[in-house]
Structure 1
Amino acid sequence: MTEHATTRTASFVPIIDLTDRNTESGRRIIADAIHRACETSGFFGITGHGIPAELVTRMCATTREFFLLPDTEKDLVAHRPGVSGFRRAGGSTAHSLDRKTPPDLCEVFSAHVTGDLSQDERDRLGNYWASWKLANIWPSRPTGFESTWRAYMRALTDLSADLMRLFALALGLDEDFFDDKFDRHVSSVTVNYYYPQRVPPLPGQLRRGAHTDWGTLTILHQDTDIGGLQIRLPSGEWRDVPMIPGGFIVNIGDLTALWTAGRWRSTLHRVVNPAAGSDASRLSIPFFYLPNHDAPLHPIADSTASAAPDPSGISTAGQWISRKMQKTFAADPENFESAD
């Protein structure tokens, strides 16, 4: 890796090559590039990440095959009280910022790394409603769906853990600073299927409304640019975030912005509709790396401080994310009990 390992694209999202992250000098250069990206857009692309291309291809193909099944078959693994799976409606993400919009135009399937814990273990993951307390439910078709998803979650967990160590290095901390905040992490994979829009959207209705992510970091695979991801620049202008062949998009969420006292940016983003008349569908796969549910919210500059005061009494990562989930699905009570 050289000092020119990152290049800034027209979309205000730099691309960072992780190839040399196994060397001390390479990690320092990568950490510096991450720091610059997180102070500006809060988004960056990654290549050289080590996730097998075959796994990503299989994850996309298997999941798309599921979404193309008849509705009656998908409904067999629908979200319902106590389980996490398929949702015909994706909620309204703009509601998490108290912005009233029509429902987002997508279908969703979600699974959690905690979804195979016992009921007693999941009950101990916060004394409030949260999606990571739900059991995973898996479809019988297509063949290999469950095993593929599990492999993807394991691979993205390992990559996320190393990115957090690079985050610590970028912030001038010991690389293991965040380790004890993720040793019981409650992360999830959510696949958004943006189906062909054969009916014109309502005014203000998007594939995903404008929002910030609620957690620590998100690693996103997107299979096409059509009707795709946009971020809002400080000027208020919206810019496309192109897909990266063989790579991922990474963005930080609200928790990282809170931990860094706003030094790093949790940036507003959305998923726009395809051009009128387009019959294109789209698949996006965000892996949400979420810390232990009881990780405190106080800025990391003072790790001995009590959690930052909040008028609603929120003092932990889990409480913060749960509140955002409840806002997202508040207008859809049938799906609220299985919100992600």
Structure 2
Amino acid sequence: MSYVPIIDLSSRNNPAARTTLAHAIGQACESSGFFVIVGHGVPADLVESMYTVTNAFFKLPEADKDLVLNRPGVSGFRRFGGTTAQSLDLESPPDLCEAFSAHVTGELSDQERSELGDYWATWKLANIWPEYPAGFESTWTEYMTAMTELAADLMRLSALALGQDEQYFDGGFDAHVSSLVANYYYPQVEPPLPGQLRRGAHTDFGGLTVLYQEDDLGGLQVLQGDDWRDVQAIPGSFVVNIGDLMALWTGGRWVSTMHRVANPDRQQTSSRLSVPFFYQPNHDALVVPLPSIDGRSGPSVVAGEWMAAKLAKMFANPAGTRS
């Protein structure tokens, strides 16, 4: 796990310990862009409730899930999770998963969401919530709040790691367009197509990702050189990785690393659930790179325009996934 180190955040409320934690995060982000956090303070019962209601939703009959089907203007259930590899212009069959997604902006008014960029983007969609299982909406809303608070503090620690004030990134996330996505990797009773994975190889697009994955089932792999390395699922932990925009923001000091979700062994017919929270900057945030190690500065980009272009590619398959 040295390539994806484990960082204990239990001392993060101690001002004297934050510099040490920031240094550990900086080292991880310079090498792999991935680390595992424990001692994060997110209540275990909230994580358990999130897993329980989300897994129960995906086990509903298809007709019940279709009541909250993703459609124009609305974000909800997707029978197809998209084709993630297409975000990097890589040819690939659709990913072998279903998905449900919601956005922190999804409860805004239609007018407010329409002002979040003059292009198609998932954060401009309204949330739609299933009636069953009971407590789904309230659990997801509480979980998004907890993830937002955790991710915001990880960004403050990241600023320290980069030699900046803790509040350096705050202005780029004070109206963030983050999303919470549940990926349901259903049992593979049929062999996949050539090159088809549960999630194809990709990098994340935005700031950082905080991922919950089931403790006893693997699948997440990170590319190191020419080798794919498994990321161990540790009970009570989250996997954190930075996205393309964060790597750009750091002037290339930190890396946004290719990763994927591999298919299970053919004799394994279990399902798997993973729930990433994508902490995304304000749609109109100007990402101005810090000077690189050699003192040069790269071009600036507008966060929403960058992310929207990637999302449009990911959902470009003729499978009814783009809305």
Match for residue 117 of structure 1 among 95, 108, 115: 108
Task: Give distance in 2, aligned partners of 1:78 and 1:185.
Answer: 25
Match for residue 326 of structure 1 among 295, 298, 312: 312
1:316 corresponds to which letter in structure 2? V
Which portions of structure 1, spanning 4 or more consecutive aligned residues, are displaced by more than 4 angstroms? none
Query: Contact between 2:104 and 2:177, CA under 8 Å: does it hold in 1?
Result: yes
Residue 317 of structure 1 corresponds to 303
1:193 corresponds to which letter in structure 2? Y
Query: Contact between 1:126 and 1:318, CA under 8 Å: does it hold in 2?
Result: yes
Task: Give distance in 1, aligned partners of 2:235 and 2:291.
Answer: 37
Task: Give distance in 2, aligned partners of 1:236 and 1:150.
Answer: 39
Task: Give distance in 1, aligned partners of 2:217 and 2:48.
Answer: 18
Aligned pairs for 1:27-66 within 5 A: 27-66=18-57
2:193 corresponds to which letter in structure 1? L
Query: Contact between 1:232 and 1:268, CA under 8 Å: does it hold in 2?
Result: yes
Task: Give distance in 1, aligned partners of 2:46 and 2:172.
Answer: 28
Query: Contact between 1:227 and 1:273, CA under 8 Å: does it hold in 2?
Result: no
Q: Deviation of residue 227 (structure 1)?
A: 4.9
- Going from structure 1 to structure 2, the CA distance change for 1:225 and 1:266 (only over 3 Å counts) comes to farther
3-state DSSP of counterpart to 1:169: helix
Aligned pairs for 1:141-180 within 5 A: 141-180=132-171
Match for residue 293 of structure 1 among 283, 291, 313: 283
Residue 15 of structure 2 corresponds to 24
Aligned pairs for 1:1-340 within 5 A: 9=1, 12-224=3-215, 226-233=217-224, 235-301=225-291, 308=299, 315-332=301-318, 334-337=320-323
- Going from structure 1 to structure 2, the CA distance change for 1:307 and 1:43 (only over 3 Å counts) comes to closer
3-state DSSP of counterpart to 2:240: strand
Query: Contact between 1:257 and 1:266, CA under 8 Å: does it hold in 2?
Result: yes
Aligned residues: 320
Q: Deviation of residue 181 (structure 1)?
A: 0.7
Cα deviation per residue 1:2-27 (whole Å; 9 max; x = unaligned)?
xxxxxxx26x2100000111112210
Structure 2 portions without partners, runs of 5+: none
Task: Give distance in 2, aligned partners of 1:227 and 1:44.
Answer: 16
Task: Give distance in 2, aligned partners of 1:118 and 1:264.
Answer: 37
1:261 corresponds to which letter in structure 2? G
1:51 corresponds to which letter in structure 2? V
1:103 corresponds to which letter in structure 2? P
Cα deviation per residue 1:81-130 (whole Å; 9 max; x = unaligned)?
00000000011100011110110000000000000001111011111111
Q: Deviation of residue 298 (structure 1)?
A: 2.3
Query: Contact between 1:224 and 1:283, CA under 8 Å: does it hold in 2?
Result: no
Give the share of equivalent positions with the same residue, in percent: 61
Q: Deviation of residue 226 (structure 1)?
A: 3.3
1:330 corresponds to which letter in structure 2? A
Task: Give distance in 2, aligned partners of 1:74 and 1:181.
Answer: 35
Task: Give distance in 1, aligned partners of 2:269 and 2:319.
Answer: 30
Q: Deviation of residue 258 (structure 1)?
A: 0.7
Task: Give distance in 2, aligned partners of 1:165 and 1:220.
Answer: 18
Q: Deviation of residue 236 (structure 1)?
A: 1.2
Query: Contact between 2:98 and 2:185, CA under 8 Å: does it hold in 1?
Result: yes
Structure 1 portions without partners, runs of 5+: 1-8, 310-314
1:13 corresponds to which letter in structure 2? V
Q: Deviation of residue 295 (structure 1)?
A: 0.8
TM-score (norm 2): 0.96
2:256 corresponds to which letter in structure 1? S
Query: Contact between 1:221 and 1:248, CA under 8 Å: does it hold in 2?
Result: yes
Task: Give distance in 1, aligned partners of 2:86 and 2:216.
Answer: 25
Query: Contact between 2:81 and 2:95, CA under 8 Å: does it hold in 1?
Result: yes
Task: Give distance in 2, aligned partners of 1:242 and 1:330.
Answer: 32
